Amino acid sequence: MLAGCLLSLFLPLLPAFFTIIFALLVIQAAYWRNGLLLGCCGFLASWHWQLTQYHQAQQWVLQNSHDFYQVKLLAVQQRSTDSTVLLQLLDSKAAGYRLKVSWQQPPALATGQHWRLALRLKAPSGRFNPGSPNPELRALLNQVVAHGYVNTSQPTIKLRQTQPTREALLLKLEQQYAALDTAVLMRALVSGEREFDATLWQGLRTSGLGHLLVISGLHISLVYGWSLLLLSWLLRRCGLRQAMNLALLLALLPALAYAWLAGFAIPTLRAALALLIVLLGRLLLRPANPAGYWGLLCCSLLLIQPLWLLSYSFWLSLSAVALILLLLWRLGPAPGKFWQRCRYFFRFHLLLTSLMALLTLAFFSGFSGLALLSNLLFVPWCTLLAIPLLLMSLLYYLTGLPFAGVLWQLSDYALRPLNYWLTLSADLDLWWSQPYLGMVGACLLLLLVVAVLVVRAKASVLALLSATMLFAVLPAKLSSAQLTLLDSGQSTVLLLRQPGLTLLYLDLPVEQGEALLQHQVLPLLAYYRVSRLDAVVVPAYQREMQPALATLRQAYPQLRLYTAVAATEEFSNCEQLAAAYTTVVRHWRLPEQDPCVLTIMLNGWQLLLPGKLSVHSEQQLLLAYPELTADWYLMADYGRATANSLAFLQQLAPVQLLLAANSAGAHPYPVQAVRPRLGLLNLPLHHSGEQGAVSIEFQPQYFRLHTERQRRWPRWTEKPTQ
């Protein structure tokens, strides 16, 4: 029955008899006094209840006939002309759930304010691209039931102006360190607000030190450990009985206060709950080994919040703790002599970094080649000096004693080496992506290494680790033609990779070009480890695109730009692209206003790229080239009726169609006038806006097609619960 309940989660919707079967299963488990079965039932019940509550709140918000909502402002991200705000609903049926909305030209905003706002809302959505997080799953984990915007044409009413204690305290703390060089690092370690620029984010990723600037188990443990050490010494000096147990309890107070100051973000909340669970187990239960405490921690956290099962950070944290416990068991206690301790510390970090690299490879399709050196240098520095000094500055300031500025300045000096290292790491190409290994392959490699450690095979540990790391680092050889069409909204980003040619096709709106290149195109090229970009085709080039293309050229100085306009020193025309790659590229030239229509050969398959096609240029092409056909066709002008005529599609007779455009909103694509043509010709359409990024591998006799929404698991979060 338990297997039936679990397998039913993979059905399109939960069967009506699920509740009856589940109730009988709970009764039978209680009769058998089977703790494991009861725990599984408790997890499934908690999962079903929380998911049902989320969907009911979301349904109420989206179907509510009233446009006005009473909300509390939780966070504000301000920009030049608008702000992105996180709101908490105060309405009864969805109270406690959150909304993420944009607000054009808002008034003065501060966290804690209560507003009555006219909102236009839709279900959470986002871009599904290779190597990017699942935006809908992130919304579920953060209890965000809708995205939208504030309707500024309606009145916005401030109901209450309050400044919570936490925000008032953070404002006073901000005044202490705002002028210091490492203020952004201090803010992350004090309040949990990581307002980093692109350089610092890249440095965190490349260095592998992101865990140092996320208030989580490491930081909560530091506060608890130092507090426990101080309190136990004081209570023993006072001669109190049960001094250690009392110190264990009292040390919770500063740890929880620090978690409160960090806003009880998900990693912080998880660490605080974990500390509380382990402490209760230590005081109330019989002594257990570390593996028993780890199992208790996993089960308890999943019973409290079963949706954490879908969080990569949850499994990354728990797996890291498990690996640390495994290595402490495998290496034994640290020796007494100094140099032996240094050797022990190096071996421990070598093994831990190697294992965490495989774990990072499983979750994020890559890992940092700088992680070992970074952790050897800055984990001791930050845990023994920088972070304790910063926390001491915080505590000293809260006591109201004079000369607190001296301690803040010392904390700034202690964090400067870390800041310098992150800035230096941002310029290094040491993030090694391995998109083809996959989560299953990386997990199997990790389990193999763990098995070798468990059986205590001494000679083979380093060899196996070296072979595993070598396999993970080496880029996969490109033996077939690959196509990736990004989910980029109302723009086209298409990457073609095959032996001898790496081509990027861009059709970008001018106002969004630079943002798209920085946040989507360059991460895609890094994800696939594209070291050389041979050609960039921009058929609809405008002078305003120059800053965006300069960003791309800075990353790939050797690239050549091709466009439909006349050739210049900086640009070549599409005819020159066909001349440079005669075996794989053909240009269908028109004498007047050439739209830059190209056919790319991909292992025998013909892909037609439309350039700046219009109905008129389609007619000219049909007259000039009656032999024009294609196996794959990228629809022109985002599927509008200004192109994609019925006669042109009949002439092409493509096997498949591709489209990069928005799929929802006031103007979904392809437009209504074009859809009947596709149905009449029975043409399959692969829509990146609906299916996420489209990836295709072309072989001479067949092709493999995958979409990012198809790859994202699980579908349990999408199905009806009633």
pLDDT digits (tens, 9 = 90+) for 611-658: 888 999 999 999 999 899 999 999 999 889 999 999 999 988 888 999
C-alpha–C-alpha distance, residues 403 and 393, integer Å: 10
Query: Of 242, 308, 245, 246, which Cα lies nearest the Cα of 273?
Result: 308
With a cut of 80, say whether residue 440 has pLDDT above it.
Answer: no
Is the bond into 402 cis (omega within 30 degrees of 0)?
no
Q: pLDDT tens-digit profile of 160-199? A: 877 778 888 888 999 999 899 999 999 999 988 888 888 8
Say whether pLDDT at 222 is over 80: yes
Residue 711: pLDDT band (50, 70, 90) is low
Percentage of the chain surpassing pLDDT 90? 26
- Dihedral angle of Cα 408, 411, 417, 422, to the nearest 10 degrees: -80
Answer yes or no: are the C-beta atoms of 368 and 342 closer than 8 Å. no
Cα–Cα distance for residue pair 62/52, rounded to 1 Å: 15
* Average pLDDT of the chain to the nearest whole number: 84
Average pLDDT over residues 418-440: 85
User: Contacts by 463-468 with C-beta closer than 8 Å and gap 24+?
Assistant: 465/351, 465/354, 468/354, 468/358
What is the predicted pLDDT for the residue at 385?
92
Amino acid at 355: L
Cβ-contact 640, 667 below 8 angstroms: no
Is the per-residue pLDDT at 720 higher than 50? no
Rounded Cα–Cα distance for residues 296 and 277 (Å): 8
Please choose, from the candidates 142, 226, 595, the residue with its C-alpha nearest in 3D space to the C-alpha of residue 394.
226
DSSP state letter for 519: I
Given its phi and psi angles, is residue 34 left (phi above 0), alpha (psi -120 to 50 degrees) or beta? beta
Report DSSP letters for 196-208, one per residue: --HHHHHHHHHHT
Determine the Cα–Cα distance for residues 426 and 205; give it in Å rounded to an integer.
Answer: 8
DSSP-derived letter for residue 180 is S
The sign one gets for the Cα dihedral 232, 237, 238, 240 is positive
Burial (CB count <10 Å: 0-12, 13-18, 19+), residue 618: buried
Is the separation of the CB atoms in 330 and 457 below 8 Å?
no
Name beta bridge partners: 401. none
Amino acid at 193: E
The per-residue pLDDT for range 321-377, each reduced to its tens digit, is: 888 888 888 888 888 788 888 888 888 888 888 888 888 888 888 888 888 889 889
| Predicted TM-score (pTM) of this structure | 0.83
Could you give the CA distance from residue 722 to residue 719 in angstroms, rounded to a whole number?
A: 9
Question: Lowest-pLDDT range, 13-27, 141-155, 505-519?
Answer: 13-27
Pairing of strands 157-160, 571-573: unpaired
Q: Which residues of 473-502 are buried (b: 16+ CB within 10 A; e: fewer)?
A: eeeeeeeebbbbbbbbbbbbbbbbbbeebb
Interval 472-526: pLDDT, tens: 566 656 678 999 999 988 899 999 999 889 999 998 888 888 888 888 898 898 8
Using the Cα atoms of residue 638, residue 640, residue 643 and residue 647 in order, give the sign of their dihedral. Answer: positive
Any idea which of 280-294, 374-388, 404-418, 620-634 has the lowest mean pLDDT? 280-294
Return the closest-CA partner of residue 494 out of 535, 548, 433: 535
Three-class secondary structure of residue 534 per DSSP: coil
User: Can you name the residues that pair with 606 across neighbouring β-strands?
Assistant: 601
Q: What is the pLDDT of residues 241-279, one digit of tens each?
A: 788 888 888 999 999 999 999 888 888 888 888 888 888
* 131 vs 693: CA distance, rounded Å: 11
Cβ(632)–Cβ(605) below 8 Å: yes
Q: For residue 119, which amino acid is it? A: L
